[in-house]
Amino acid sequence: MPEYQYLSGFGSHFTSEDGRFPNAVPEGQNSPQKCPYGLYAEQLSGSAFTAPRTENTRSWLYRIRPSVVHQPFKRFEGTAPFLRGTGWEEQHPNPNQMRWNPFDLPADGTEVDFVAGLHTVCGAGDVRARHGLAVHVYLANCSMKDTAFYNSDGDFLIVPQQGPLDITTEFGRLYVKPNEICVIPQGIRFSVALEGPSRGYILEVYDGHFRLPDLGPIGANGLANPRDFLTPTAHFEDRTVDGYRVVSKFQGALFVATQGHSPFDVVGWHGNYVPYKYDLARFMVINSVSFDHCDPSIFTVLTCPSNRPGTAIADFVVFPPRWSVQEHTFRPPYYHRNCMSEFMGLIFGRYEAKEGGFLPGGASLHSMMTPHGPDHRCFEGASNAELKPERIADGTQAFMFESSLSMAVTRWGEETCQKLDARYYECWQALEKHFHL
């Protein structure tokens, strides 16, 4: 595992310089007449210039060449044919509970990098209106070669499930293992190197950016703590490359431009618009110590709020190992119908409410007002278990992408991938009538 250096904190204003060229970031101003070392100053804005200070995000990059030095963009044909970002009407709506078996990795002998391996499962909204989200999986087996990618449509929250990701960004390098996540905000260029066949999940949001949820009565500490988020430190390469490719996801389609150099030539930078990673093992669980099962909102790591207070375009929620101690309580998740859409994935282990059928590398989707909850085996076991303190979810990491938007499933997700479990509904059919006087 590479020994990369990181800066600690969430939403902080950082300054970082490649140690080979100290003082690359100008003192006292952003855009001097001549930058140190003959660098170019370039601002990358993640919000409107006039956004409130608490929501204003931007970084200044000091680079060997500005990003504008490239040939015109052209349609990137034949790559990532199952990537979607708009036009959610290709399939007829389907309100049924959906569960996918683990998505297939690329066949042996076929090289598929991170970009080519993007497949959209479901989504909602419109990238042009900057409102909505999409859920993708990546299925890849080789590194990106002399290629960088950036997303003009929104932020990527990436959840590796199999295989680590060695990610080079304009801000430096990130090494992201399964049970860690990373966020690459809109517009930031990055390239992914792999160590072998790799699979994972991506939550893309078009509205604003991810932030930490408010804690309210929880107080000052708990859930995901800011100090545990890590941002890369500056590291540049001055590399001439004939035909280096820069791939842009723009309005849901892919475009490619070529240039004669690596885009990872940022010698120093400062700002608060940055990529970052987080180790899910550091999540501080808040839970009931008396009775009843708490709502899953207590497990929220990051949220992308909507314009309605308390309602999210998307929440990223985890269900980590923890103690369960509630008295006279059915401890697993309760049966539920919801005004939200719930997409779940499993990184490793066995999810407590459905120990069979829901497998690592697979997924489930419970759409708005579609009932769901523990399967028959889980219900019977939890209804008759001795209620003593016990560890649950050890060796397991399940997560959920939850949204206030009603998501449509793509043709790839419902048909082409051939991973949809048509017998999912059967896990509830054995639930018996226990009513008595």
Q: Could you report the per-residue pLDDT of 335-344, keeping only the tens digit for each?
A: 999 999 999 9
Whether residues 172 and 308 fall in one domain: no
What per-residue confidence (pLDDT) applies to 357? 78
Please report whether residue 434 resides in a domain.
no
Q: Supply the residues annotated as catalytic.
A: 293
Q: Is residue 346 very low, low, confident or very high in pLDDT (cuts 50, 70, 90)?
A: very high
- Domain boundary among the residues 280, 305, 323 is at 280
Q: Is 40 annotated as a binding residue?
A: no
Whether residues 208 and 306 fall in one domain: no
Please report whether residue 346 resides in a domain.
yes
Q: Is 70 annotated as a binding residue?
A: no
Whether residues 228 and 85 fall in one domain: yes
Please report whether residue 96 resides in a domain.
yes
Please report whether residue 148 resides in a domain.
yes
What's the whole-number mean pLDDT along residues 291-311? 94
Please spell the DSSP secondary structure of 104-167, one letter per residue: PPPPTT----TTTTEEEEEEEEETTTTEEEEEEEEEE-S---SEEEEESS-EEEEEEEES-EEE
**CB–CB of 366/97 below 8 Å?**
yes
- What is the tens place of the pLDDT at every residue in 389-410? 999 999 999 999 999 999 999 9
Whether residues 261 and 293 fall in one domain: no
What's the whole-number mean pLDDT along residues 174-197? 98
Domain that residue 86 falls in: 70-265+275-280
Q: Is 355 annotated as a binding residue?
A: no
Please report whether residue 21 resides in a domain.
no
Whether residues 261 and 287 fall in one domain: no
What per-residue confidence (pLDDT) applies to 251? 95
Q: Is the pLDDT of residue 241 over 70?
A: yes
What per-residue confidence (pLDDT) applies to 350? 86
Whether residues 234 and 320 fall in one domain: no
Q: Is residue 355 very low, low, confident or very high in pLDDT (cuts 50, 70, 90)?
A: low
What's the whole-number mean pLDDT along residues 45-66? 97
What's the whole-number mean pLDDT along residues 14-23? 98
Amino acid at 285: V
Q: Is the pLDDT of residue 353 over 70?
A: no
Q: Is residue 282 very low, low, confident or very high in pLDDT (cuts 50, 70, 90)?
A: very high
Q: Is 195 annotated as a binding residue?
A: no
**CB–CB of 205/155 below 8 Å?**
yes
Whether residues 120 and 253 fall in one domain: yes
CATH number of the domain bearing residue 235: 2.60.120.10
Please report whether residue 435 resides in a domain.
no
Task: Tally the domains of the chain.
Answer: 2
- What is the tens place of the pLDDT at every residue in 68-120? 999 999 999 888 899 988 879 999 999 999 999 999 999 888 999 999 999 99
Whether residues 293 and 198 fall in one domain: no
| Single pTM value for the model | 0.97
